[in-house]
Each structure stands twice: as C-alpha cells, then as structure tokens.
Amino acid sequence: MATQCNQQLSLHWLEKLVLLALNELNRPAIYEELAQKAVELVNRAQTALSRESFTTTARKPSAIAKACGWLQQKQLIEQYEHGETTRIISLGREGLRYASEGLPERRLVNFLIERGGEATVDEVSSAVNDYTIALNWAKRNGWIAFDKKNSETYVRIVSEPPSMTVAEELLQRLMLEDTIPMDSLPEEMKNIVEQMITRQDVIRIVEKRERRVGLTSKGKELASQLAAVKLEDILSEITQLTPEILKTGKWRHLTLSKYDITAAVPPVFAAKRHPLVELIRLVKQVYVEMGFEEIQGPIVELAFWNFDALFQPQDHPAREMQDTFYVDLEEKGEIPREYVDEVKKVHENGGRTGSKGWRYNWSEDEARRLVLRTHTTATTIRHLAEVKKPPIKVFSVDRIYRNEKVDWKHLAEFHQIEGIVMEKGANFRQLMGIIKEFYSRLGLREVRFRPSYFPYTEPSAEVEVFLGGKWLELGGMGVFRPETTAPFGVKYPVLAWGLGLERLAMAIYGVEDIRTFSRNDLAWLRRTSPLTPYRVAGRI
C-alpha cells in the first residue's frame, strides 16, 4: 500500500490527467482524444489557478504523448498500435507563419479597411506580403472585386468577411494542439481542410497507424483512486517552487509534488587538482613533517652542475646526446670560477681526496654546455656549494629530462623526489632509515634496499617498495663521494636520494600507462578521487 501511495504522489499533474481521462473514457484511446478529454476535465474543475495554465499544455497531443511515456515506464498504462490508420493534420511551414501573421487574404482585407475600402494593385503589392496569394483567395471568397479607373486597377471590398473564418479557426486550433485527427473535426472544418490542402505547405496530412493507450490493472486501480480526489486538489499540486509563488504567498494553497528521488540526474563534475599535483602536495607535506626545507633550481642547467660537479666523467655514456637533451644555443653557459680548478683536479687525478680520479683531460668547454637537467641532484649540489654549513636537510619535487622515446613505460620529462641530509656523523644506516620513514609516511611500509651504482655516491643503493602485490624499483640513493663534496668545501657526509614520482603515482592511482599523467584526459581527471593518495597513506 505504501509503495502505491508513493507512486501516486510522484506523478506529474499531466500524468494524473491522462489517468483520469482514460478512467472517464473507460476504453483505450488515442493521444488526441485524451487531449480533448483532459481539457474538458480541467474546464469542469473548480480551481483557484487559471485553467489556461493547464489547458495550454494538456490540449497538445505531443505533451500527452510524453506523459504517456512516463506512465508506461511506471507500468500504469500500456500503449499498442492499432491496425487502423488515422489521418492526422498539422501545420506546414507556411501554415505556421499564417497562424501567427494572419492569412494573406485577411491581411489584405485589413489593409483595404485601413485605406477606406479600396486601394490600387500597386499599393497592395508593396504593402501586403504574399499579395498575389492574398488577391487570389480574397477574390475566391468573394470579399473583393477589381475596378479599372484612369488606367489603374483598383481593389475594393465587396463583402466584409466574418471576424474569424473557419479556416482561421482551424489554424488557431492547430497552433494550440499541434496535431488533430481528421475524423474528430466537424464536417464544415473537414471541407476547409480539403480546400487548404491545395495551398502551398499550409497544412500537412499524415496517415498514422493509431497508437492506443489503455490502463493496466495497476493503472486502473490508481485511476479510480484519483477519481475520488477533487481535481482542483490534484491541479493545485506544483513541481517547481518559484520566487513569485513565495512572494505572493500562493504556496499556502499549493502542494509541492514529491519527486522520485531515486531517478538518475545529469552528471556534475567537481573542479580539482591534477592527481599528480595532489600526490606532490602529499609528498611535500611528508617532507615538511620530517623537517625538510624545500629548494628549487634551474631546469636549463649547466653541464657543470648536472654532471661535472657530481663526478660524472665527460665521456660518461649518460652525457651523450642520445640520453641527454642539450640546449641548441650558440652561447655557452658561465661556470662558477671558484670551483673550476678543484672540480678539474678531482676528475683528472682525484685532487686532494685520495681518489685516483678518472684520469683524463677535463674540458671546461664541455662543462659549459647547457642541458635540460637529467636529475634534481644538480640543484642539490648547487645548494650544498652555496650553504656548506651543517646541518642541512633539503628537498625538491621537480621536473627532470631524459632524451628518450616516449611509450607507456617511459617519459622524456618527469618528476624526481629529491632529498639530502648533511650533518656530522651522517651515515648509510640513517640514509636507509630516512627512506624507510619517508615511504612509511606514504603508507608504504615494506621497503628493501639492494646495492647499486651511481658515479657520485658510495655506498649506493636501490630502493624497492612493495605495492600492489609486487616489488617496485622506485629510486636510487647513496652517500656522496668525497670527489663530489670536497671541491665545494663540504666536510661532512651527505646522504642523498632521487626517487621516481610517476612510478609511485602509477602504483598509487592504479595507472598502467605512465603517459596518463600528462595526457589530461578529462574522463580520468574527473573520475580520479583526491582521496586516493591519502587513503593509500593510511591518513584517512
């Protein structure tokens, strides 16, 4: 019972009218019949509201058809095609125009009345649109006659037409009702239809297989319940609350219809951060929690800082054009004079570090070349050279570049999570400890380390994190070699690491193709929840 009640209340007033019309007809009917019946019902009702506001809609078979669609979905009616066909009339293109502008012959007569009953054909032709049609039909109707005076042809009213002809009445009805079944028209009007069909696209007739609407048993039950309610109560129900209804206090006499609150609605999308930016925000937060200070450095970088300062020999494969983006600029960069000699010595023979060095001739020119930095460690060593004084704990999460072919696993431009700690007594166990702490704050508690190699760190390690059922290689780390720190006057051990952001992001967001992060597919951006990284981190 309760569900039935709800269903009844969730009906639109037009749906209710259709049910009542069917109830009263007590037989299956076509839309046009239902429209006529609905109008009749409204006109019978006592209502505080203007009847017109209902009849303008209810008299349109197209609106009735829509309501029938809704009712069918609710299984209150069924619709079926009847074997017989009906002739349905509707307005053509010209008919639509005539219905709003008036028939040409009517406009002609009006013009002539304005002119005192007559005018020359020339005057008519310039004042009345469609004047040839107008003259033709006014003559046929016997409203006008032609006279010749002083070699000019005059048009004169001979019999004033009724204020509304049957043809005009038909146009008006069609304007209001959209479609009318030919059979429902009075005989007189049927004749007019036959006449108007000869005029250019004023009226259209289509043969339609009849669609009949009948009540289902559920519908019947509901319709009889509705019939017991006063129609004005049904009609006083409204769907939309308006400022006008509120201001005038009309709401006191109205009922607001209940909605089907389970119905689907058009989607709405929240604007938000890019998912990678969201993750960067969390990573930065973790760094700050751990007491790190953010640094930033150039993207177009001197080979000196990117490679030489980090003890990468000038013939190192990573420095080759197929791995590194070199800048196409005739002018070379300027390298910091105060460090050139020390860096040169360290490369050539180890300088005062006790190292053998790389044993080749170091070229200043090579160090002055400009590259798109291949790691943010370039920024780190700059910072160390500038500050020197312990303790230092700094980080950056920023863009780096590799001259690689882009595919689902590789990008030419991506982000590195960089960090260093420099203090007296800093050691390798602390380096592993800090990385473990970092990842555990992102919710990744299973971390392992294995030996690795970088030209500027010793000992070096690779860090792997267990996520999504497998071990992921996420980055490299190590203690800076003396050949890296000594030329810049850094006296204590520097613990350094560079971790991949995108690979971490792939695991966190469950993304298979690394290019997703720069593709900006709106479906993905809209779908991805900002909660994800925080949930993985166990922070919410």
Residue 54 or 311: which CB sits closer to other proteins? 311
Q: Does residue 396 contact residue 296 with C-beta atoms inside 8 Å?
A: yes
Residue 443 or 459: which CB sits closer to other proteins? 459
Q: Does residue 379 contact residue 386 with C-beta atoms inside 8 Å?
A: no
Q: What is the closest distance, in whole angstroms, from the C-beta atom of residue 261 to other proteins in the complex?
A: 23
- Measured over the CA atoms of residue 529, residue 533, residue 537 and residue 540, the dihedral's sign is negative
Q: What is the closest distance, in whole angstroms, from the C-beta atom of residue 125 to other proteins in the complex?
A: 42
Residue 60 or 481: which CB sits closer to other proteins? 481
Q: Which residues of 456-470 are buried (b: 16+ CB within 10 A; e: fewer)?
A: bbbebbbbbbebeee
Q: What is the closest distance, in whole angstroms, from the C-beta atom of residue 276 to other proteins in the complex?
A: 6
Helix (H) or strand (E) holding 146: strand 144-149
Q: What is the closest distance, in whole angstroms, from the C-beta atom of residue 80 to other proteins in the complex?
A: 37
CA angle 46, 49, 55 (to 5 degrees): 85
Residue 149 or 424: which CB sits closer to other proteins? 424
Residue 40 or 473: which CB sits closer to other proteins? 473
Residue 219 or 493: which CB sits closer to other proteins? 493
Q: What is the closest distance, in whole angstroms, from the C-beta atom of residue 522 to other proteins in the complex?
A: 4
Q: What is the closest distance, in whole angstroms, from the C-beta atom of residue 506 to other proteins in the complex?
A: 15
- Backbone angles phi and psi of 187, in degrees to 5: -50, -45
Determine the straight-line distance between the first and last CA of the chain, rounded to whole angstroms: 44
CA angle 402, 445, 456 (to 5 degrees): 35
Q: What is the closest distance, in whole angstroms, from the C-beta atom of residue 109 to other proteins in the complex?
A: 45
Residue 188 or 323: which CB sits closer to other proteins? 323
CA-based nearest residue to 381, from 509, 295, 271: 295
C-beta atoms surrounding 386 within 10 Å: 10
CA 67: distance to chain centroid? 29
Give strand ranges (E) for 216-261.
237-238, 255-256
**Separation between Cα atoms, residue 268 and residue 251, nearest integer Å:** 30
Residue 28 or 476: which CB sits closer to other proteins? 476
Q: Does residue 241 contact residue 251 with C-beta atoms inside 8 Å?
A: yes
Listed in sequence order, the residues at least 6 apart from 148 whose beta carbon sits closer than 8 Å to its beta carbon are: 154
Q: What is the closest distance, in whole angstroms, from the C-beta atom of residue 157 to other proteins in the complex?
A: 51
CA-based nearest residue to 487, from 297, 368, 350: 350
Q: What is the closest distance, in whole angstroms, from the C-beta atom of residue 531 to other proteins in the complex?
A: 16
Residue 67 or 276: which CB sits closer to other proteins? 276
